[in-house]
Amino acid sequence: MSTIFSKIINKEIPADIVYESENILAFRDINPQAPVHILIIPKIEIPKVTNIYGKEHAVLLGEMIDAANKLAKEMNIADDGFRLVFNCGNHGGQEVYHLHMHLLGGRKMKWPPG
């Protein structure tokens, strides 16, 4: 089932897009939890982490991490470090069922997460 992120991919609703390629899109989270909070998503509809399989998805995930590294450098958070997060399902706190990787940085993160 399509989510609000499909509308962002199709440019039907606005988003602060910071990176786009043939396969992925990255935009600023509307409710940022850190000075840098970007969502990196595949353009194809994969609901969540448990729907990932096979080599094709492995390449896609590699692209998503490449984009995160590129954006972290651009936003000057690469040296201090950052956090990449996938929330999966109810206990993981997932709200939008279109796969997305959170790139969080610009402050010291706590552990364990809440």
Active-site residue, selected from the candidate residues 57, 91, 98, 100: 100
Binds ligand AMP (CB under 6 A): choice among 95, 110, 111, 112: 95
**81 vs 92, which CB is nearer to ligand AMP?**
92
Q: What does the per-residue mask of binding to ligand AMP show for 52-91, with x meaning CB under 6 A?
A: -----------------------------------x----
82: β partners: 105
Residue from 9, 15, 26, 101 touching ligand AMP (CB under 6 A): that is 15
Tell me, yes or no, if 100 is annotated catalytic. yes
Using alpha carbons only, give the angle 47, 52, 55 rounded to the nearest 5 degrees: 140
3 interacts with ligand AMP by CB under 6 A:
no
* 45 near ligand AMP, judged by CB under 6 A: no
3-state secondary structure of 30: coil
Nearest-CA neighbor of 64 among 40, 88, 34, 99?
40
Among 29, 57, 78, 106, which residue sits at the site for ligand AMP (rule: CB under 6 A)?
A: 29
C-alpha closest to that of 80 among 27, 114, 36: 36
Least separation in angstroms between CB 95 and ligand AMP:
4
Q: Which helix (H) or strand (E) holds 20?
A: strand 17-20
E strand map for 29-80: 36-42
Residues designated as active site: 100
